[in-house]
């Protein structure tokens, strides 16, 4: 989810697509290039221990998540991104369908989900740091100590935030280095080491009893599986590049199928590698990956390599967090300048970074980090924050699915370089229905305490998530209700919505014929104000 926030944010912050600039489109991406970009966006080692709890049945959950989430999100986002290439991302897509208030809410949910997600990935960084040089017995104690984890979360995030003030370029360099040596290389090593481990006849801890299809024993038994949704999120980020493909209609679906296959295969192999090395009784959402590396290398009589892998994984988290800290704030800056955020949150430093929003992010993450000292365990904190982030991001995806369907009817003649095939919108309805069922099911599961993790009182767990959900979902509408015309910046280049250009309401059907654009229609560089409904 992390690695391409920069590319998305740059689009949101003013980088023109060829279509916007009025010049002939230059093909910059091949099908395989886009597929690999999708893989690096979505795949992460950090989430593997979540499904390693399920052993062989994790294969089933990964395949289901791909069908009901990964593929629908990719296809719907591709249609929306190619139809509305102007900057704004989800704000543009949803705003065209329902108005600026819902568009702002969708953008805010994307940002808020990432803010809530930050502590979970930083918890993993704290655990990785604990495993770098200490004896494993001390590692286990330190990694499970809420005070230590909270201190590391705060120190790392504030350090990365201050580093981000140097600009997107600096963050991108750290992200690239960390992504290669902190995710890709360790992931390959994990899979190969597990294969060698099995070939040498070492004990395999994964149970093969029961097969791939899980036995349903109640909703609480599959709550962790719903977390796969969060680890598969982010495929929509690369949809903004669809217009750079030579043949979007042909190449984008193929890139989706290829990247989905790679992501699922890597996730399955990495998860099974952990299940092979770590007994199910010792599974831990935050420590199992580190324990797996330690056990695998100990079996090869190279225990010190476990410490090296811990350092590499910590580096990977730093790179991942670095680029994500900058990305969402950049997108909010572009929309904020269009008149949807106070002037305070539109200020930038000499490197073009939105310092007020970056500081706000850090403050919110600091408040969430306090949950580490309140909840019964680091695992419990990680689970609750992960589920809260999942709920918020799923709310955004539900809105996107409905917006895509609505736009087929309110703007039927809008040129769509990529269009989900099917007569009478049947293809889109099918994809949208599958996506909505998947997102709705995951939302319900997110409120149920998992039986694999001690999260304290089930009532407290549900109350925390319920209150957090109500507050987070309401915030963007409160901000929008308070926004003022004077918030609009003089240097904004944000183009108005189609319904504003046409002088109609978002709910009304466009009267434009296919391919017709009025000569007076404002462009991204126009000074025409963005009028709120």
CA–CA dist 152, 162 (Å, integer): 15
CA–CA dist 125, 314 (Å, integer): 5
CA–CA dist 424, 421 (Å, integer): 9
Q: Which residues contact 145 (CB under 8 A, 6 or more apart)?
A: 378
Return the percentage of the chain with pLDDT > 90, whole number: 13
Burial of 270 (0-12, 13-18, 19+ CB in 10 A): buried
Q: How confident is the model at residue 530 (pLDDT cuts 50, 70, 90)?
A: very low
User: At residue 527, does pLDDT exceed 50?
Assistant: no
User: At residue 440, does pLDDT exceed 80?
Assistant: yes
CA–CA dist 233, 223 (Å, integer): 17
The predicted-structure confidence for 46-98, as pLDDT tens digits, reads as follows 778 877 777 788 888 888 888 888 889 888 988 898 888 777 788 899 999 99
CA angle 361, 363, 367 (to 5 degrees): 115
The predicted-structure confidence for 410-419, as pLDDT tens digits, reads as follows 999 888 888 8
pLDDT for the residue numbered 451: 65
pLDDT for the residue numbered 4: 37
The predicted-structure confidence for 272-316, as pLDDT tens digits, reads as follows 988 888 887 667 666 778 888 888 898 888 888 988 988 888 888
**Cα–chain center distance at 204:** 33
Q: Can you give the C-alpha Rg of the chain in angstroms?
A: 23
pLDDT for the residue numbered 264: 86
pLDDT for the residue numbered 2: 42
Comparing 10-19, 327-336, 373-382, the range with the smallest average pLDDT is 10-19
User: At residue 351, does pLDDT exceed 70?
Assistant: yes
Mean predicted confidence (pLDDT) in 430-448: 89
The answer to whether the CB of 320 falls within 8 A of the CB of 416 is no
Comparing 89-93, 205-209, 251-255, 377-381, the range with the smallest average pLDDT is 377-381
Q: How confident is the model at residue 428 (pLDDT cuts 50, 70, 90)?
A: very high
Q: Report which of residues 158 and 3 the model is more confident about.
A: 158
Domains by residue range for the chain, with CATH = 5-502 (1.20.1740.10)
Distance between start and end Cα atoms, the chain: 33
Neighbouring C-alpha atoms within 13 Å toward the C-beta of 394 = 28
Q: At 421, phi and psi to the nearest 5?
A: -70, 160
SS3 29: strand
Phi-psi category of residue 450: left, alpha or beta, with phi > 0 → left and psi -120 to 50 → alpha:
beta
SS3 51: helix
pLDDT for the residue numbered 222: 66
* Neighbouring-strand partners of residue 29: 245
pLDDT for the residue numbered 164: 84
Comparing 7-16, 444-453, 457-466, 502-511, the range with the smallest average pLDDT is 7-16
Q: 182: closest CA among 256, 293, 264, 262?
A: 293
pLDDT for the residue numbered 431: 95
Return the structure tokens found at 261. 């296959």
The answer to whether the CB of 314 falls within 8 A of the CB of 126 is no
Average pLDDT, the chain: 79
Alpha carbon of 76 to those of 37, 217, 276, 389: distances in Å?
18, 34, 37, 21
The answer to whether the CB of 89 falls within 8 A of the CB of 11 is yes
Mean predicted confidence (pLDDT) in 208-235: 70
Neighbouring C-alpha atoms within 13 Å toward the C-beta of 283 = 24
Neighbouring C-alpha atoms within 13 Å toward the C-beta of 60 = 13
Comparing 102-111, 336-345, 378-387, 407-416, the range with the smallest average pLDDT is 378-387
3-state secondary structure 193-257: HHHHHHHCCCCCCCCCCCCCCCCCCCHHHHHHHHCHHHHCCCHHHHHHHHHHECCHHHHHHHHHH
CA angle 9, 325, 235 (to 5 degrees): 50
Question: DSSP secondary-structure letter at 375?
Answer: S
Mean predicted confidence (pLDDT) in 130-148: 78
Question: DSSP secondary-structure letter at 350?
Answer: T
pTM over 0.75: yes
Burial of 353 (0-12, 13-18, 19+ CB in 10 A): buried
pLDDT for the residue numbered 93: 92
User: At residue 3, does pLDDT exceed 70?
Assistant: no
| Other beta carbons less than 10 A from residue 60's beta carbon | 16
CA–CA dist 41, 33 (Å, integer): 12
Q: Which residues contact 179 (CB under 8 A, 6 or more apart)?
A: 3, 40, 316, 319, 320
Return the percentage of the chain with pLDDT > 70, whole number: 80
């Amino acid at each position: 989810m992390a690695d391409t926030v920069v590319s998305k944010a740059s689009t949101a912050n003013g980088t023109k697509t060829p279509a916007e600039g009025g010049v002939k489109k230059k093909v910059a991406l091949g099908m395989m290039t886009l597929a690999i970009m999708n893989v690096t966006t979505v795949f992460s080692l950090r989430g593997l221990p979540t499904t390693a709890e399920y052993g062989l049945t994790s294969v089933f959950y990964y395949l289901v998540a791909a069908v009901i989430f990964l593929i629908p999100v990719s296809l719907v986002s591709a249609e929306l991104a190619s139809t509305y290439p102007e900057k704004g991302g989800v704000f543009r897509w949803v705003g065209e369908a329902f108005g600026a208030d819902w568009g702002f809410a969708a953008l805010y949910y994307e940002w808020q989900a990432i803010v809530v997600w930050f502590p979970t990935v930083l918890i993993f960084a704290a655990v990785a740091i604990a495993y770098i040089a200490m004896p494993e017995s001390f590692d286990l104690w330190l990694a499970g100590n809420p005070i230590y984890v909270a201190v590391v979360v705060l120190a790392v995030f504030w350090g990365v935030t201050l580093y981000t003030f140097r600009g997107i370029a600096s963050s991108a360099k750290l992200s690239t280095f960390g992504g290669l040596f902190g995710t890709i290389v360790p992931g390959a090593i994990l899979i190969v080491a597990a294969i060698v481990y099995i070939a040498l006849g070492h004990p395999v801890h994964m149970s093969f009893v029961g097969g791939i299809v899980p036995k349903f024993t109640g909703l609480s038994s599959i709550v962790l599986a719903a977390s796969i949704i969060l680890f598969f999120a982010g495929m929509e980020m690369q949809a903004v590049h669809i217009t750079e493909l030579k043949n979007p209609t042909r190449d984008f679906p193929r890139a989706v199928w290829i990247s989905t296959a790679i992501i699922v295969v890597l996730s399955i192999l990495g998860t099974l590698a952990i299940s092979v090395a770590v007994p199910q009784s010792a599974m831990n959402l935050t420590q199992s990956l580190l324990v797996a590396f330690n056990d695998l290398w100990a079996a090869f009589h190279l225990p010190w390599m476990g410490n090296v892998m811990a350092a590499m994984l910590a580096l990977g988290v730093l790179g991942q967090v670095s680029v994500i800290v900058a990305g969402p704030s950049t997108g909010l800056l572009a929309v904020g300048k269009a008149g949807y955020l106070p002037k305070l949150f539109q200020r930038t430093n000499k490197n073009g970074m939105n310092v007020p929003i970056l500081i706000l992010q850090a403050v919110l993450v600091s408040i969430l980090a306090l949950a580490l000292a309140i909840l019964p365990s680091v695992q419990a904190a990680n689970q609750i924050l992960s589920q809260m982030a999942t709920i918020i991001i799923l709310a955004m995806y539900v809105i996107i699915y409905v917006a895509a369907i609505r736009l087929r009817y309110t703007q039927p003649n809008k040129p769509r370089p990529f269009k989900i095939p099917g007569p009478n919108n049947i293809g889109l309805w099918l994809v949208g229905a599958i996506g909505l069922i998947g997102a709705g099911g995951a939302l319900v599961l997110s409120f149920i305490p998992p039986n694999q993790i001690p999260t304290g009182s089930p009532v407290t767990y549900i109350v925390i998530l319920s209150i957090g959900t109500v507050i987070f979902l309401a915030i963007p509408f409160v901000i929008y209700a308070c926004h003022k015309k004077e918030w609009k910046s003089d240097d904004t280049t944000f183009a108005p919505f189609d319904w504003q250009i046409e002088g109609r309401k978002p709910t009304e059907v466009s009267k434009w014929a296919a391919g017709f654009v009025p000569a007076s229609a404002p462009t991204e560089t126009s000074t025409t104000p963005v009028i709120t409904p």
